Structure 1
Amino acid sequence: MPVSALDRTRNRVVATRYGAVAIRNGTVAVAAVCAAVLVGCGSQTDDASSIIRTTTNIAGAGVVGLERDTTRACPLPSAPDQPSGTRSVTHAAGVSEVPADPQRIVVLTTSALDATCALGLWERVVGAVTVDGERPQPDFLGTGVLKIPSVGTAAAPDLAKIAELRPDVIIGEQPSSAATFDALKAIAPTVLVGATGGWQAEFSAFAAGLDRRGAATTALENYRAEAAGTGTVIAAHQSQASVVRFTGDAVQVQGSDSFAGQVLADAGVQRPTAQRGASFDVTPADFDTRAEGDIIYVVLAGASGKEQGEQVMRSDEWKYLSAASDRRVFAVEDSVWHGDGLTAARALLIDLQKTLNGYVTD
């Protein structure tokens, strides 16, 4: 179970040169964050791979991802399943005959853009929906995607703009606007995925529409190995991580059904007992029993979520949490931790490497 208020004095996290020593019920467990975890850390000095040292914080929470390296977010182009012709793809909206190895792609969701990035095909994207905020696309996808022409928002794709781009294939999720499957397939072969089955199944469905089933299988296998390896290096099983998302309207605990919950599970990170099921809203009165953890990741959804999060994290109910008093609360990117794709999952793993056994210093 996560640490409680009564256990604060005997469940502290003491920073060391090589990681963090969690003192639980009189037992010392060394969570050394270095590649040599199985043979000892040797003379490795304290750096960003062992203990995060933030220069910015929000209401006491260390901000993660400010210096994210996106130069390798999208790999080189993957090989198609077949070099020419067409293939039949069954998807959530029906069956489509899509071209092998499409050269001009339009994406209707961030998850679809993430998939093209993970498969090395983002430079073939001739049009993409944009997101709210200062940038038209999420930071974790890098700067190259900023050059992609807009085709409206995910809620209201512009059919005329899509048609002008003459795409070979259109990929996205089930639309809720005038951009129906029939309207889209009149422009180009369209593959729309459903919201069930988790992000890995969704990624595989996008890959099928891009003639990259084989590449997707390999990419997911590599991700799972990377997640397991990350968990071993950071001794993920020794910590229970809480994930709390502020939306401006509600405070949501992200359970095992959330994107963050799924990636944490892939890395072997433990969750507080209350968070091992579906996601749920929580009130300040229940923070100590439903939001507490050895470490808390806070997700700030937009400007309203940031405002709400700052207010809540300055409240007595929040400050009473042992993770808050131990300075083990980290503010993470909403587009990554509430994301929906392989590129976001890999970015989340990097955040874990830098924080799970660290503490906030400024």
Structure 2
Amino acid sequence: MPVSARVRTRFRRTTAAVALLCTAAFAAGCADKHDDASTIIRTTTNIAGAGVVGADRDTATACPLPSAPDAGSGATRTVTHTAGVTQVPADPQRIVVLTTSALDAACALGLWERVAGAVTLDGDRTQPMYLGYGVVKVPSVGPIGQPDPARIAELKPDLILGDIAPAAGDYDALSKIAPTVLIGAGGSWQSDFAAYSAGMNRNDAAETAMQSYLTEAHDLGPALNAGQSQASVLRFTPDTIQIQGTETFAAQVLSDVGVQRPTAQRGPSSDITESDLATKAEGDVIYVMFAGPEGEDHGKKVLRSDQFEELGAATDKRVFAVDDKIWHTTGLTAARAILTDLRNSLNGYVTD
């Protein structure tokens, strides 16, 4: 159901009130866009009218300091996972990751500098940049979904983390190289993080990190009046417009914050057409992401279409482009990055 004109009018009035407050309190720093969650954020970079969120993202502290292994004696620990039972090092030093979510988990636990090798992404950026520039220097073990066992063996890992076939390849072959922990498909992103953390013998650190994220998310909701906003989330591939449903990573993080979704987006993900935009894409704010350059080309055409420009969020200049490699992935570090994006956009509008 499209967001009502009454809701959009309420937002405009709130915007005007905050603008006046900022004028009165300029000397106190209200004009600093990072100062206060209630401050209206103004973006100056856009894609087809959508304000780009996170272009100036600070990744210097994305990965914290190294966490300690779980307490206990012995050089190894027994880990039960989807592919079997494995004896893993109590404090692994050379980790090979076969998924982006495993790399994200290593970052979230402060162990990214122990990553000896990683699968790489398509495109000009071999690793997701929200994890920081250091990850780009991690040696490649092949493209995602096609790791090369020979390259992995050359790196002499003491732990391999990945998911069940096809992305990880043959478990028996990998386990002959090093202790290997593989997670299964279909779990939540939180359970995936817990499984990777268990492989690194960081259950306690993982629980602490997850609770810290949940506290931040729950505190952010009231600060942003998140319950008063319905956020539409769309993803453009080269030939489709996808509604990001409740099962997606982005939707789950929005739910953690308490952001509402339009009625038409409170179910599973689905593809829509331009003629569906008015009934299925409207929201108080619309977040869009693009699957690669071709997805961006398609998205630009839709964003410039009459059907999209007639949406209330487009008229109110409340359409924001977010990083597909953050909003369409899984991982605790990515979830924290989405919180930052929401802090800088949920109550915002585009000014150019």
> What TM-score do the two structures reach when normalised by structure 2?
0.93
**CA RMSD in angstroms, aligned pairs only:** 2.2
Return 175-184 or 276-285, whichever deviates more: 175-184
8 A contact 1:171–1:206 mirrored in 2: yes
Residue 320 of structure 1 corresponds to 310
What pairs up with 1:234-245 in 2 under 5 angstroms? Answer: 234-245=224-235
Residue 18 of structure 1 corresponds to 18
SS in 1 for 2:350: coil
Residue 37 of structure 1 corresponds to none
What pairs up with 1:114-263 in 2 under 5 angstroms? Answer: 114-176=104-166, 179-263=169-253
**Pair 1:347-2:332 in alignment:** no
What amino acid is aligned across from residue 58 of structure 1 in structure 2? I
Cα distance in 2, alignment partners of residues 41 and 196 from structure 1: 49
Residue 45 of structure 1 corresponds to 30
Change (3 A) 1:118 1:7: same
Once the two structures are TM-superposed, the CA of residue 195 in structure 1 deviates from its matched residue by 2.4
Residue 29 of structure 1 corresponds to none
Instruction: Provide, for residues 161-196 of structure 1, a one-character-per-residue CA deviation record: whole Å limited to 9, x for no partner.
Output: 000111000001112168211111111111111222
Residue 89 of structure 2 corresponds to 99
Structure 1 runs of 4+ off > 3 angstroms? 6-12, 16-20, 40-44
Cα distance in 2, alignment partners of residues 98 and 71 from structure 1: 30
8 A contact 1:18–1:46 mirrored in 2: no
Residue 78 of structure 1 corresponds to 67
8 A contact 1:155–1:176 mirrored in 2: yes
Once the two structures are TM-superposed, the CA of residue 249 in structure 1 deviates from its matched residue by 2.3
Instruction: Provide, for residues 277-316 of structure 1, a one-character-per-residue CA deviation record: whole Å limited to 9, x for no partner.
Output: 1111111111111111000000111101100000000111
Change (3 A) 1:73 1:175: same
Structure 1 unaligned regions, length at least 5: 21-31, 34-39
Return 330-339 or 281-290, whichever deviates more: 281-290
What amino acid is aligned across from residue 91 of structure 1 in structure 2? H
SS in 2 for 1:18: helix
SS in 1 for 2:44: coil
8 A contact 1:57–1:63 mirrored in 2: yes
8 A contact 1:199–1:340 mirrored in 2: yes
Residue 47 of structure 2 corresponds to 58
8 A contact 2:145–2:168 mirrored in 1: no
Percent identity over the alignment is: 59
Instruction: Provide, for residues 108-135 of structure 1, a one-character-per-residue CA deviation record: whole Å limited to 9, x for no partner.
Output: 0110000000000000000001111221
Instruction: Provide, for residues 243-281 of structure 1, a one-character-per-residue CA deviation record: whole Å limited to 9, x for no partner.
Output: 000011211110111000000000010111111111111
Structure 2 unaligned regions, length at least 5: none
Cα distance in 1, alignment partners of residues 208 and 167 from structure 2: 34
2:56 corresponds to which of 64, 67, 70? 67
Once the two structures are TM-superposed, the CA of residue 43 in structure 1 deviates from its matched residue by 5.1
What amino acid is aligned across from residue 71 of structure 1 in structure 2? A
Instruction: Provide, for residues 65-105 of structure 1, a one-character-per-residue CA deviation record: whole Å limited to 9, x for no partner.
Output: 11000011000001101464211111122221111110010
8 A contact 1:19–1:357 mirrored in 2: no
8 A contact 2:8–2:284 mirrored in 1: no
> What TM-score do the two structures reach when normalised by structure 1?
0.90
SS in 2 for 1:271: coil
Change (3 A) 1:59 1:192: same
Change (3 A) 1:122 1:42: same
8 A contact 2:2–2:280 mirrored in 1: no
